Structure 1
Amino acid sequence: MSPRKSVAETAATRDRIIESALALASTEGLEGLTIGRLATDLEMSKAGVIGHFGSKEALQLAVLEAAVERFRLRVPARAVGARPGTERLARTFDEWIDYMAGSEGHGGCFLTSVATEFDGRPGPVRDAVLEALAAWSAYVASELNTAVDNRELPERTDVDQLVFELNGVALAADQSIQLHHDPQAPTRARRAIARLLIAP
C-alpha cells in the first residue's frame, strides 16, 4: 500500500467515524456518544475508533466542528447571493428554519441542542460551542449594521438587542418543531423574522 493511499484511507475512515458520530449525537447528544456503540455501528474495534482521535473529548470536538461546517455550508453560504443587510438576513434565517424542519438537520439544530447540553459544563466542548455561537451572532450583527448603514433600519437601531430577538425566534422555532411537532412553527418563525427586520 502506498503512503499516499494510506493517508487517504485514514482520512476517509476518520470522516466516516465523524459522520456516524454526528448522526448518533443528533439523537443521543454529544455526551451520549460511546466508543463501543460507534465501533459496533461501523464494524470496527474500539481501539480503531478512538485511535483516530485520542480521546472521547477530541471526538466530540471533531463532531462539533463538522456540525458547524455543515451548518455554515447549508445556511449562511446559501444566502451569499442575496443583497447584504435585511435581505440577506431574511434569506439566512429562512434557510436555517428549513434546515431545522428538514430531515437533513438530523432532528433540529444540532448546535442549539449541544449548547443546551453543555451550557453548565465548563471545558473545551463548551468553549467551542460558545465560539461557534459568537461567530454566528457576529455575522448577524454585521448584516444588521449594514442594514443600518443602508438606511434599511433606523440609525437608532439597537443591534445587540435585535440579534438577541432574532436568535430567540430561531430557538423558539427549533423547540416548536422538535418538541411540539408544530407544523405551523416554520411559518410563525418566518413571520416573526420578517416583522423584526422591517423598519418601524
Structure 2
Amino acid sequence: MAGAAAARQRILDRGVAVASVEGLRGLSIGRLAAEVGMSKAGLIGPFGSKEMLQLSILERGGELIAEIMLEPAAAAPPGRARLQALTEGWIRYISAEPEHFPGGCLFTTATFEYDALDGPVHDAVVDGMNRWRAYLVEATREAAELGELPDGADPDQLAFELMGLFTGFNMSVHLFHDPDAVARLRQGVGRLLGT
C-alpha cells in the first residue's frame, strides 16, 4: 500500500509540474508515464480515466498552493500584514517554485483552458478560483474592519484588483521574463494598501 501511495504521489507531483506548463488538456499520458517510469496503463490505473487524473492533479496543486502560500499567510496577523504575506506567498508560488510549478499558476493556466467548457474539470477550476477569490475578499474585509485600508477603500474592489495584479505578475514572470516583476507587484500592492 505504501508503494502504491508513493507512486500516486509521484504521478501527481509530476502531473502538476507538467500541467503548469502544458495545461491539463495538453497533458500527455504517454509523456507523464515515461517521466515517472511507468506504463500508460500503470499510470492511469489508480485514477481510472484521464479526467480523474486531471481532477486529482488540480487537487494536488491546491494542496501545494496552500503549503506554499496560504498557510504562511494564515500565520500572519489579520489585516494589512496578512495581505502582504499573501503577496509574498504569491511571489514564492510563481517565481520560486520551479520544481512544482515551472509554468506558473496551475489554476490560471486551467482557467484559460476551461473557461468556456463544461464538465467536472471546469467545475473544479471554478471551485478552486472561487476559494482563492473568497480568501482574498475575507483578507481585505478583515483589513477594512481593522481600519488598515486607505479611506474609502472598497474591500471587494480591492480583492478584485489584487487578483488582477497577481495574475499579471504570473504573466510577467513566465511570459515576459520581466526582471522587475517582483518590484512591480510589491509596488502595485503597496499602492492599493496605502503603504
**Who is 2:181 aligned against?**
185
Distance in 1 between residues matched to 2:142 and 2:88, nearest whole Å: 19
**Who is 2:22 aligned against?**
28
Are 2:66 and 1:58 aligned? no
Deviates more, 1:11-20 or 1:180-189: 11-20
**Who is 2:141 aligned against?**
145
Give the fraction of aligned pairs with identical amino acids, expressed as a percent.
44
**TM-score of the superposed pair, with normalisation by structure 2:** 0.92
**Who is 1:127 aligned against?**
123
Deviates more, 1:106-115 or 1:170-179: 106-115
Letter of the 1:194 partner, please give it.
Answer: G
Shift of 1:197: 1.1
**Who is 1:4 aligned against?**
none
1:75–1:126 distance in 2 versus 1, CA, 3 Å: same
Residues 48-106 of structure 1 show CA distances to partners (whole Å, capped at 9, x for unaligned) of: 11110000000000001111110111002112332101111111112202321222432
Distance in 2 between residues matched to 1:64 and 1:81, nearest whole Å: 24
Where does the alignment leave 5 or more consecutive residues of structure 2 unmatched? none
Deviates more, 1:70-79 or 1:23-32: 23-32
Aligned residues: CA RMSD: 1.6
Contact 1:169 1:192 in 2 (8 A): yes
Instruction: Give secondary structure in 1 for the equivalent of 2:103.
Output: coil
Distance in 1 between residues matched to 2:144 and 2:37, nearest whole Å: 54
How many residues are aligned here? Answer: 193
**Who is 1:114 aligned against?**
110
Where does the alignment leave 5 or more consecutive residues of structure 1 unmatched? 1-6
Are 2:83 and 1:82 aligned? no
Shift of 1:144: 1.3
Distance in 1 between residues matched to 2:104 and 2:18, nearest whole Å: 14
Shift of 1:192: 0.3
RCO comparison, higher one (Cα < 8 Å, 6+):
2
Distance in 2 between residues matched to 1:44 and 1:81, nearest whole Å: 39
Deviates more, 1:94-103 or 1:65-74: 94-103
Residues 5-64 of structure 1 show CA distances to partners (whole Å, capped at 9, x for unaligned) of: xx2221111111112222221222111112222222223222111110000000000001
Shift of 1:198: 1.7
Are 2:11 and 1:10 aligned? no
Instruction: Give secondary structure in 1 for the equivalent of 2:143.
Output: helix
Instruction: Give secondary structure in 1 for the equivalent of 2:75.
Output: coil
- The structure number with the bigger radius of gyration is 1
Are 2:43 and 1:43 aligned? no
Letter of the 2:36 partner, please give it.
Answer: L
